[in-house]
Amino acid sequence: MELSIEELKKTLKRKDAMLLMLLVLWPALVSVGIRSQSGFFILEGIQVGALEFLYGQMVFQQIIFLPILIIIVVASMTFYKEIKEKQIYLYKDIPRTQILHSKYFSVYGTYFIFLIFYILSCFFFFFTIYAGAENAVNSFSALPENIGSILFDCFQILMLILFFIHVGISLSLRYSTGVTIFIALILYGIQNIIGFFGNIKYFTPFGYTDILDFPIADMRIVLLLSISIWLLYNIPLYRINRNYFKKAEFN
């Protein structure tokens, strides 16, 4: 665990991680834009509480893709850069699996620290700035009856982001930052068009970000299916990465 903490501290000091942390101010920009009636931010006829505002910002992460790209760069700097510069030999007395786990921890830890501050930022700026807007409802949710489905959608967006991060880690073990970003963007494009292929999307991690779009009404079943599909992709991906990292010669 000590190695993992040290890796996380090292990662958080880098400029790419600091750039990610700057995005926690995005909810402030949205709030100011709404209050100033900026054309880019106007939302007519939509009542928004704190939870709906948070959901909108999670959708922003998924659609704009910028936070995901930055954390993929963080992964690339954590894996590929150290492998290329032979910094990996600094850990020669530590088991490879332990090194891999510590680097996984640093990348995911960086994102979760960002996410915690992002959520706190959403609530803070909603109640301090956004709450004065015409469409704002000064409460936790404007639609209490939909709290469950909104939380479900937020969770599914998070699962999707974590999948992209894992793909970024996997690519960073093997390819340069440019190649990793390029392949991640292709995957992002697939995510955007897979909905046109009917039920195929439900066999991928991309098909569960909107519960209202799902043919089964029982949220518990949908949740179980989505987690199962997520694990079906991520567990083999981790095992492939672990085996590769254990056997690779970093010349």
What type of residue is 57? Q
How many residues are there in the chain?
Answer: 251
Return the pLDDT at 212.
61
121 Cβ contact partners less than 8 Å away, ≥ 6 residues apart: 24, 25, 26, 27, 28
Read off the pLDDT of each residue in 111-129 and give the average, rounded to a whole number.
Answer: 94
pTM, two decimals, is: 0.90
Return the pLDDT at 54.
93
24 and 114 in contact (C-beta within 8 Å)? yes
HEC secondary structure over the chain: CHHHHHHHHHHHCCHHHHHHHHHHHHHHHHHHHHHCCCCCCCCCCCCECHHHHHHHHHHHHHHHCHHHHHHHHHHHHHCHHHHHCCHHHHHCCCCHHHHHHHHHHHHHHHHHHHHHHHHHHHHHHHHHCHHHCCCECCCCCCCHHHHHHHHHHHHHHHHHHHHHHHHHHHHHCCCCHHHHHHHHHHHHHHHHHHHHHHHHHHHCCCCCCCHHHCCCCCHHHHHHHHHHHHHHHHHHHHHHHHHHHHHCCCC
Q: Is the pLDDT of residue 103 over 80?
A: yes
CB atoms within 10 A of CB 54: 23
Q: What is the pLDDT of residues 163-219, one digit of tens each?
A: 999 999 999 999 999 999 999 999 999 888 887 777 788 888 887 776 666 656 677
The residues pairing with 136 across neighbouring beta strands, listed in sequence order, are 48
Read off the pLDDT of each residue in 99-117 and give the average, rounded to a whole number.
Answer: 96
Read off the pLDDT of each residue in 55-64 and give the average, rounded to a whole number.
Answer: 87
State how far the Cα of 117 lies from the Cα of 112, in Å rounded to an integer. 9
Q: What is the pLDDT of residues 191-205, one digit of tens each?
A: 888 877 777 888 888
Domain ranges of the chain: 2-247
The residues pairing with 48 across neighbouring beta strands, listed in sequence order, are 136
Residue scoring higher pLDDT (57 or 197): 57
pLDDT category, 5, cuts 50, 70, 90?
very high
Q: Is the pLDDT of residue 20 over 70?
A: yes
Read off the pLDDT of each residue in 23-33 and give the average, rounded to a whole number.
Answer: 89
Dihedral sign computed on CA atoms, order 72, 201, 145, 37: positive
